[in-house]
Amino acid sequence: MGASVAGEDRWIPSTCGGCYSCCSLLVHRVNGTVVKIEGNPESATNRGRLCARGISGIMTLYNPNRVNVPLKRTNPRKGLDLDPGWVEITWEEALETVAARLKKIRQEDPRKLLLTGTVTTQDEVPFARLFAMAFGTPNGWNSGAGNHCGTAEHLLGAVYHASWSKQPDPDHCRYLLNFGSSVGAGSYYCVTGMAQRIADARLRGMRQVAIDPFLSISAEKADEWIPIRPGTDGAFALAMLHVLLHELGIYDRDYLEHHTNGPYLIGEDGLYLRDEQEQLPLIWDPIDGRAKPFSAPDIKAFALEGEYAVNGSKAKPAFSLLKEHLRPFTPEWAAPITSVPAGTIRRIAGEFGREARVGSTIVLDGKVLPYRPVAVMYFKGAQGHKNALLSCIALELLCEVVGASNVPGALLGMNACSLGYPETGNPKWVPKTDRDGLLVAAHWPTPPAPYPPREVKGAETIDLKGMIPTCPGSSGALPLVMADPERFKVPYKIEMNLHLGSNYVMTFANPEQVAEAFKDVFQVSFSLYLDESTYFSDIVLPAASYLERLSHMADWMASNAPVGEWCYHVRQPVTEPIGERRATCEVLLDLAERVGMRQELHACVNLMLQLKGPFALDPGRPYSWEEIVDRRYKALFGEAHGLEWFKEHGILKWPKKVEEVYWKPFSSARAPIYLEWLKRLGEEVQAMAQKLDLPLDTSAFLPLPEWRPCHPEQETANGHDLTAIYYKVPMQTFSGTYDNPWLDEACSIDRFAYHVAIHAETARRKGIQDGDWIEITSASTGATVRGRAALTEGIHPEVIAIAGCGGHWSKFLTVANREGRGVCFEWLMPVGLGNLDIPSLTQDQCVPVRVARSTSQPQA
Amino acid sequence: MHFYGHTRDVTGGTDFVTELPERSTVRDLLDRAVAHYGEKLRERLLTRSGALEANVQLFVGERQVLSPDEPLRDGLEAVGEVTIFVVSATAGG
Ligand code: SF4
């Protein structure tokens, strides 16, 4: 048997699915068995490197805890620790059961279907979205990333960078101010590629300052670490803006005039003054001494300051209002809030402002461009707070006032502009403008982009996004609305959840409250493991992992490095699926046929994947998953670059153009330094909330940023004297990788990955020693979790830091569920409107806690 | 006329057939559909000022229409199928 098999020794190109960075792989298969995974050196994304998760993917493939056959529950009762009583069933029985449910719901009201996904299914979720769209439901939710990710940050990514997110320019940046993000250090986008590039940037002299409550893996690589109280980054940024504009007078006048709405005239009602004819925002031309539409061809100059009388109304340029607004936010004001000395804030503002080199230029590819080699990065850490949006606006304005936005050296929208593969011109997207001249993203992973916002329409969806269209990602309100739709005037109840790998009970907030929302829902899970969320499943389908499946989207835009080359990858099975595992997208195609929704699915696929002409799917016949992926590649890259070409070559790459990477000088789009539209939208949301009798705090829909505390002072009473935060570690992706034994080993030898970081002096005061078991009690939920203390000087004395999403309890995860495998932070966080930043529906992720040495200390 | 996406709870199905006079606009067609399915459809597809909602994509044949006031017939092109997609950002993040 198997003479040919015995001789097999192949390296197969594919793409990692350990996180959303999509690193290109070379997988070594010998006699049908995967024996090694390496980074593909040809890839411009990861340049041959992988992180620990990528290398250990082999252990996910062969983990004996994987689900290998379809299962159905026998225990009708559902609960966090109630054994579902799994029994094996055939695929046919499973699919017929699921299809029957889907048909019934589609007949009654398709909105009763929910889709839940996560980042490790980041290739499958987009296709499942098309399935959901074709089905007719608007309801979806990502957890494990979505809610602990960046809804406010992504919103401002659209508004300021025409992109889902952003990166510092690794080729030219000279001063990187990092407010708690993991860029270049193991999480975030383009992880391995940016880690190399940021390391290279530091070698060539880029200075990096980390402003972070914890000396994290990212912060420890900085030249300077400034410990800050959680949730006060916005105050720090406001004080820096004060120093720049009021003390140093550093701002980029030319950029503000031509690339922001800084010159737009704001009336006494806080809204734009508009011309009567076309209703365009007005600016003041000081040479002609009159107001003109912002786009008038005869503008001789723009006023940025002063007060003007226009048609009997008084008005000021937006920049002037911003400057006045910033006057009280001095470093002395910010110091007691942030716990950072005023002198430090002033010094950082000065370093940032001077290094921005306002007025300087650089010649790239024969084009003279502004050179602003500074960037401000932030993500979950700075934005995961009750004051999310206003803090993020303040952080964005730092780059905007000095013109460090989408020009060489600056903060870059993550692949905001693509002119396409030279042979086909696809994929193509170029930032656009709206009627008010403001920037509009041309490409968005979950269309439509959040700006311009949809009209406020009340509770159409189960996540409040119909009412609050500024939330661009997963809504922090979903479990709340789902548990009690009537209260939110949602006219239906979720009856079924298509569940793609998201361990939502462990990756959102208080598991008991989340479980309450899902316990009465018929749940169909496409799962690798029987994790905590599958305790709520009715059917579990054995999903193929990323090493066993073909993807249509192994190259999410976020995966491409911001500079260098475009690089599109293949993700193909490197081995036959083990047991009865099947790829989720193939199963969805099967279900679409059984439900009778092929016409709709093909129409949605054609639209969203831009399959046109000869590549469009015909509603008259079914297609295999391979055929669809082949058509997508050919539609993008031409007939010669179909799936077979990609399977063989692995990647297609070509150089990025200067006008793609540094697109802002080539665009007439303006960024808002005064968010007039947000003020208007807030008034609409407020009116709708009143109409529906919902207690929504809409006070954060403001045109200019301010700072507010996350928690009222009374929450710190009763000895809740510390703040718990959580952060990402590069060895794990949310909760989904904790059962991987190699990663378990890596985390076990890391000092903090499974332990709770606490300041040595704080610990001493509380009688806690290194390695002691401690109990952490939340002021918000009252819950207590246990973990082991890791004493360090590298943390703010008022803070404890918990890594990742450990603390598993599923009896089916025999690696992850052992004692001492991290702490489940979610028990500390409440589900509730009071814990949300309403404009972005972001959860607050810092919790007042009480910490004490545990009375029971297990023997070592 | 075909409806795809977040309209099914209103339309109950995908296809709607009607006849309109020469020189009708897209708005005329939408009015006809609203008369059939109810005001909820208008709310789903249009803003209060009558523009297409940001998440609605409308095609007359292959031609994407950005304003409902555009004519259904563009020059000599015959009016074929009108397709409306209501896109929803399900499961973002
Ligand atoms: S960074 Fe993400 S995609 Fe890259 S190797 Fe690590 S887990 Fe895989």
CB contact under 8 A, A454 and B8: no
H helices, E strands: number in chain A = 24, 35
Task: Please check whether the domain covering A151-416+670-677 is classified as CATH 3.40.228.10.
Answer: yes
d(CA A474, CA A129): 13
> Sign of torsion, CA A773 A777 A781 A782?
positive
Arithmetic mean of pLDDT over chain A: 95
pLDDT for res A184? 87
Q: Among the residues of A356-387, which ranges form H helices? A: 380-383
Whole-number Å distance, alpha carbon B9 to ligand 1 midpoint, is 40
Q: Which of A131, A121, A82 is nearest to A537 (CA)?
A: A82
- Indicate the average pLDDT of chain B: 89
Contact across the interface for B87 and A603, Cβ inside 8 Å: no
* Three-state SS annotation for A559-617: HCCCCCEEEEECCCCCCCCCCCCECHHHHHHHHHHHHCCHHHHHHHHHHHCCCCHHHCC
Nearest-by-CA chain A residue for B52: A454
When CB atoms are compared, the residue of B5, B6, B91 closest to A125 is B91
Q: Does B42 touch chain A (CB under 8 A)?
A: no
Kindly report the three-state secondary structure assignment for every residue of A244-295.
HHHHHCCCCHHHHHHHECCCEEEECCCCECECCCCCCEEEEECCCCEEEECC
Select from B4, B7, B47 the Cβ nearest to the Cβ of A604: B4
Q: Is the CB of residue A302 less than 8 Å from the CB of residue A294?
A: no
pLDDT given at position B93: 45
Which residue among A14, A21, A59, A123 is best mutated to probe the pocket of ligand 1, counting the most ligand atoms within 8 A of its Cβ? A21
**pLDDT at site A6:** 62
pLDDT over 60 (residue A845): yes
**CA B82–ligand 1 middle distance (angstroms):** 43
Tell me how far apart the terminal alpha carbons of chain B are, to the nearest angstrom.
33
Q: Is the pLDDT of residue A461 over 60?
A: yes
B76 vs A: CB within 8 A: no
Which atom, in ligand 1's list, is nearest to the CA of A22? 3
CB A497 within 8 A of CB A521: yes
| The two structure tokens encoding residue A610 | 């831009």
pLDDT at A634 over 60: yes
What are the pLDDT digits (tens) for A700-743?
Answer: 999 999 999 998 766 666 788 999 999 989 999 989 999 999 99
Confidence (pLDDT) at A150: 85
Smallest Cα distance from A302 to chain B, Å: 31
| pLDDT of A619 over the 70 cut | yes
**What is the Å distance from ligand 1's center to A737 Cα?**
12
Q: How far apart are CA B82 and CA B58, in angstroms?
A: 7
Torsion sign over Cα A604, A605, A610, A614: negative
Q: What fold, for A71-138+451-555+571-649?
A: Rossmann fold (3.40.50)
> B55 vs A461: CB contact, 8 Å cut-off?
no
| Residue A658 Cα to ligand 1 middle (Å) | 27
The CATH T-level fold of domain A2-61 is N-terminal domain of TfIIb (2.20.25)
Cβ within 8 Å, pair B4-A603: yes
Tell me how far apart the alpha carbons of residues A391 and A705 are, in angstroms, rounded to a whole number: 7
Atom nearest to A55 CA in ligand 1: 5
Is a pLDDT exceeding 60 seen at residue A5?
no
The domain locations on chain A are 2-61, 71-138+451-555+571-649, 151-416+670-677, 713-853
| ipTM topping 0.90 | yes
Segment A184-205 mean pLDDT = 92
Measured CA to CA, the distance from residue A857 to residue A786 in angstroms comes to 11
Q: How far is B1 from chain A (nearest CA, A)?
A: 13
Look at B90 and A129 and tell me if their CB atoms are within 8 Å: yes
**Closest CB from B53, B85, B90 relative to A139:** B90
CB proximity list for A144: less than 8 A, separation 6 or greater: A118, A119, A120, A502, A503, A504, A506, A507, A734, A735, A736, A805
Nearest CA in chain B to A502: B91
Interval A650-694: pLDDT, tens: 999 999 999 999 999 999 999 999 999 999 999 999 999 999 999
Over residues A732-761, the mean pLDDT reads 96
Packed helices A331-338 and A342-355: angle between N→C axes, nearest 10 degrees = 120
Residue carrying the six token digits 């589900």: A831
**Residues lining ligand 1, Cβ inside 6 A:** A 16, 18-19, 21-23, 46, 50-51, 53-54, 191-192
**Inter-chain residue contact A145 with B57, CB threshold 8 Å:** no
Q: What is the pLDDT of residue A1?
A: 40
Which of the 8 DSSP states describes residue A534?
A: G
Separation in Å, CA A134 to CA A390, A550, A602, A611, B40: 36, 22, 8, 16, 19
What pLDDT, on the 0 to 100 scale, is given for residue A642? 98
Kindly give, in sequence order, each residue whose CB lies less than 8 Å from that of residue A693, ignoring residues fewer than 6 positions away: none
Q: What is the pLDDT of residues B29-71, one digit of tens each?
A: 999 999 999 999 999 999 999 999 989 999 998 899 999 999 9
pLDDT tops 50 at residue A34: yes
B13 contacts chain A (CB < 8 A): no
**Which option is the CATH number for B5-86: 1.10.10.10, 3.90.380.10, 3.30.565.10, 3.10.20.30?**
3.10.20.30
pLDDT tens-digit map of A415-455? 999 999 999 999 999 999 999 999 999 999 888 899 999 99
- Could you give the count of Cα atoms lying within 13 Å of A515 in the half-sphere of its Cβ? 17
Q: Kindly indicate the confidence band of residue B89, based on its pLDDT and cuts at 50, 70 and 90.
A: low
- Name the minimum distance, in Å, from the CA of A504 to any CA of chain B: 12
Q: Encode pLDDT of A548-589 as tens digits.
A: 999 998 887 778 899 999 999 999 999 999 999 999 999 999
CATH number (2.40.160.20, 3.30.420.40, 3.30.70.3450, 2.40.40.20) of A713-853 reads 2.40.40.20
- CB within 8 Å: A138 and B88: yes
State how far residue B53 is from chain A, nearest Cα, in angstroms.
Answer: 6
Contact call for residues A669 and A440 (beta carbons, < 8 A)? yes
Cα(A783) to centroid of ligand 1, in Å? 34
Strand partners, A37: A27
CA A136 – ligand 1 centroid, Å: 34
Q: What is the mean pLDDT of residues A490-500?
A: 96
pLDDT given at position B90: 56
pLDDT for B91: 46
User: What pLDDT does A842 receive?
Assistant: 93
Per-residue pLDDT averaged across A269-284, rounded?
97
- pLDDT for A161 equals 98
Q: In chain A, what percentage of residues exceed pLDDT 90?
A: 90
Query: Do the Cβ atoms of B92 and A146 come within 8 Å?
Result: yes
CA-A54 nearest atom, ligand 1: 5
Nearest CA-CA distance, residue A582 and chain B, Å: 22
Consecutive H or E run containing B43 = helix B39-45
> Taking the domains of chain B in order of start, what are their residue ranges?
5-86
